[in-house]
Amino acid sequence: MAKKLYVGGIPYSTTEDDLKSAFGEMGAVTSAAIIIDKMTGRSKGFGFVEMANDADADKAIAEMNGKDFQGRTLTVNEARPLEERAPRREFGGGNSRRM
């Protein structure tokens, strides 16, 4: 069964292919994604890697957590499920004067 890993401390210049290649040394990588800021289009410095099986994922955590990667120290652990958040309030925005 596939296991999703959280990867923090990713250098801003790293590509998804770089991430997939680095984790590919630990085993089969199903997917790799770097989270991008919507406003700037730049990396937020973290992402997710999905390993094909639990053994490869555990090996990746053991070997990559705390490792220097392209000049930054990675934080790697099992990704937690996304928690539900309260719905955002709509403020309308813009000029709301009414005459």
Distance CA(71)–CA(28), nearest Å, equals 24
Average pLDDT over residues 58-82: 94
Residue 11 to residues 33, 45, 56, 87: CA-CA distances in angstroms?
A: 13, 6, 23, 32
Arch. (CATH architecture) of 3-78: 2-Layer Sandwich (3.30)
Residue 5 and residue 49 in contact, taking contact as beta carbons nearer than 8 Å: yes
Distance CA(64)–CA(74), nearest Å, equals 7
Statement: residue 3 has pLDDT above 60 = yes
pLDDT at 93: 59
Distance CA(38)–CA(95), nearest Å, equals 24
Check the CA dihedral 46-52-57-63 and report its sign: negative
Q: pLDDT tens across 17-41, in order?
A: 999 999 999 999 999 999 999 999 9
Residue 70 and residue 18 in contact, taking contact as beta carbons nearer than 8 Å: yes
